[in-house]
Amino acid sequence: MTIPLRSDSLKKGVERAPHRSLLKALGNTDEEIERPFVGVVNSWNEFVPGHIHLDKIAEAVKAGIRLAGGTPFEFNTIGICDGLAMGHEGMKYSLPSREVIADSIELMIQAHRMDAMVLIPTCDKIVPGHLMALARIDIPSIVVTGGPMCYGYVGDEGADLISVFEGIGKFREGKLSEEELQELENFACCGAGSCAGLFTANTMACMTEALGMSLPGCATTHAVDAKKMRIAKRSGMKIMDILGRNILPSQILTQEAFENAIRIDMAIGGSTNTLLHLPAIANELGIKLELGIFDRLSRETPHLVNLRPGGKHFMLDFDRAGGVPAVMNRIKDLLNLDVITVTGKSLKENLEDFKIINPSKNREVIKTINDPYHREGGIAVLFGSLAPMGAVVKQSAVNEKMLVHKGPARVFNSEEEAKNAISNKEIKEGDVVVIRYEGPKGGPGMREMLEVTSTIVGMGLSDSVALITDGRFSGGTRGPCIGHVSPEAAEGGPISLVENGDIIEIDIPNRRLNLLVGEDILENRRRKEFKPKIKKGYLRRYSREVSSADKGAVF
C-alpha cells in the first residue's frame, strides 16, 4: 500500500506495543495488523426485517476485504424499523435516530483510525445516517445496501406492507373481512429485506447507487438473491482498490452527483423523504441543496417508473428491468456523466458496461422519455401563504382530479387526534385534513403519518380528501398528501393559525399551497410561544437543536 495509512498512528512503532497487544487479544496476527484496517459498519439487528440478514452480507464483505489484502473490523449501529414504530409514540424516535447513527459511526471510525470502511445499512433513516457519516469522515468508503424484500402473494395478487396498512381502512369500511385482513397480515411481508415497493428505504438505496456510492445494481438486488452476496464480496474487494487510489467520498459526492441523484429520484417517483435526507448528506460536505433545486429538476425530468405505492409494479419488477442503471440510460442526456463513482470509473464508463438482461420487462416497467408516465418528475415543491418556506408532495401518486383542490380545513394538533376522527368517519369528501405540531421541533421528531394516509385510502377517500402536515409521510403514502410544511407550527408558521372551516387552496401543477384567510384575521390568531411536549432525554435535546424540514432537519 503506497499511501500513508491512518491506522499506522494506532499500530506502528515501539510506543504502540500496548495497542498491538490489544489487537492480538482479538486474535489478529502480525500479518493482519500490518495490513490496512477496514471498518465494516453494520446495522444488523433482530428487530428489523430489512436488517435480519445483514450479518450474512457482512461476512461476504469481510471475505472480499481479506481476499484483497485488508483486515476487516465489524461493528454495529442502531436501526429503527419505521413500520414497527408507525402510529404511536415510537415514530418520534425514527428521524432523530439518523443523527445518532451518523455520530456513532464517526466516533468508532475516528477513535480506531480505520483506513477505509464498507457500510451495510438498510431501511429508512439508517441509509442516510450512514451516508452522512461517510461524507463527514471522508475516508475511502463503499455502501452495500441490504436489498428489498420479495413481495408476498395474497390470493392471486402481489402484496406488501402498504397492503396491510390500507387493509385496515378497508376492514373498517366493510370491504374486507377479519379473515381477509389476517391473510394480508400473514402473507404480505414474506421475509428479509426492506419493504417491497419504492418506499423510503428502497428510494434511499437507489439514491446511494445514483450518487455513485455503491456498485451498479446494488440498490435493487433483493435481500434473498445470491447476487447480493456477490456484490457484497466485490464491494469488500473494491474498497481495497479505491483505498489504494485514495478515492474519497468528497470526490464522488459533488454537486453534479447530487443533481444526478435528484433526477433519478424524480424519474422513479421516489419518497418525499429524500428532500430531508439528500440535503442532510450534502450539508456534511458544505453543499446546499435548496428545495428549489428539487423542483427545478423535477420539472425537467420525466417520471418513467411507476412502482408501488403509486403504481402496480414492485421492486422485483424494477430489478428485472435493469434497476437504476437502466433508468440512467433512459435519461443519460440529462445526467452529469463525468462524475466519478466507487467503481473507480466515471458514470459514463459504468453505463457503457451496462447490459439489459430482460428487454421486454425493461420496456414494460421503465418508460422512455418520449412516452413517460408523467411529463414531470415524481415530487413537487409547493410554496404559498400556508408554506412560505415550502412543502412537498409526491405528485406522481396523486389522482389527477386532486391535483387542484380547494376545501375546508379540519384541524388536528396531533396524529392521534386525526386518526380518531378518520376512524370515526368524521372526515367528509372535500375536506382538507391539517395535522400540525408534528414537525421536527413540534413532534418532536417529525413523525410519518402512514396509518392516517393508509386508512383514508382504504376507506376510499384518497380521491376526495387532502392531507397537509408539518410532519411527513411514508414513502408508502399515496394520494394528495402534502408534508414538510415550513415553517412548522412549533416555530409559529402559518399552519399554527389555521382553524376549522378555513379554506385551503392546493394547486400542484402551479406549485401553490395557500390559506385563504386575510392577514388581519391571522394576526389576531397569533398564539403564545410553543411549549415542548417532551421535557427530558434525547428528544428534548433534538427539539432544541434541529433545523426546519426545508433545511433537511439537521442539527
By annotation, the residues acting in catalysis are 474
- In order of 191, 210, 228, 473, the CA distances from 223 in angstroms are 9, 19, 7, 25
Is the separation of the CB atoms in 501 and 410 below 8 Å? no
| DSSP one-letter code for 15 | G
For 14-105, where are the E strands, in sequence order?
37-42, 71-76
Q: Give me the helix-helix angle, 200-211 and 274-283, nearest 10°.
A: 40
Q: Strand 387-394 and strand 481-486: pairing? A: antiparallel
What DSSP assignment string belongs to 217-273? TTTTS-TT-HHHHHHHHHHHHHHHHHHHTT--HHHHS-HHHHHHHHHHHHHHT--TT
Q: Which amino acid is at 303?
A: H
Nine cell digits for residue 87: 402510529
CA atoms within a 13 Å half-sphere pointing along the CA-CB vector of 53 = 24
- Mapping DSSP onto H, E and C, the string for 157-216 reads EEECHHHHHHHHHHHHCCCCCHHHHHHHHHHCECCCCECCCCCHHHHHHHHHHHHCCCCC
For 52-164, where are the E strands, in sequence order?
71-76, 116-120, 141-143, 152-154, 157-159
Q: How far apart are CA 269 and CA 317, in angstroms?
A: 15
What DSSP assignment string belongs to 433-496? EEE-S-STTTTTS--B-HHHHHHHHHTT-TTT-EEEESSB--TT--SSEEEEEES-GGGT-GGG
Q: How far apart are CA 160 and CA 474, in angstroms?
A: 14
Nine cell digits for residue 532: 415542548
Q: How far apart are the first and last CA of the chain?
A: 37
DSSP, collapsed to helix, strand or coil, labels residue 57 as helix
